[in-house]
Structure 1
């Protein structure tokens, strides 16, 4: 399942994956998603496309603002 909304994404991260949205985790993911040469980012784009990368980056930014 590819999340289509912030709420779906947040549920996937925090409930299904049991990953707390802590400041260090969020900031690490923001850095990675902004780095095209990051191995995991390149794989993410290969699998889901750059539009989904940008959407996911926006969701991490929103989660950071909500801390």
Structure 2
């Protein structure tokens, strides 16, 4: 059984869920793609997410993606 919550409650839990549990690297391209998909006006994906988890959680997740953005000026490719 996974000892971590199914729905992350904070940035650290969310980041662990993405990077460790799901094995997804938070690259600049991936983060930018997710921010765009979740903030685009009329986005079906954002609407679906909000209907499942609520708008407050959607806004938290968008904030976490912004916080996770790699800084291309200081990070090497593939790092976060």
Shared fold per TM-score greater than 0.5? yes
CA contact (8 A) 1:36 1:42 kept: no
Name the residue aligned to 2:19.
14
Count of aligned pairs: 67
**CA RMSD of the aligned region, Å?**
1.4
> CA-to-partner distance for each residue in 1:6-61, whole Å, 9 max, x for gaps?
00000000011111000000001111111242222111001001000100011000
CA contact (8 A) 2:31 2:68 kept: yes
Structure with the higher fraction of residues in helix conformation:
1
In structure 1, list runs of 5 or more residues that go unmatched.
Answer: none
- TM-score, normalised to structure 1, is 0.90
Higher-Rg member (1/2): 2
Name the residue aligned to 1:35.
40
Give the 4+ runs in structure 1 shifted more than 4 A: none
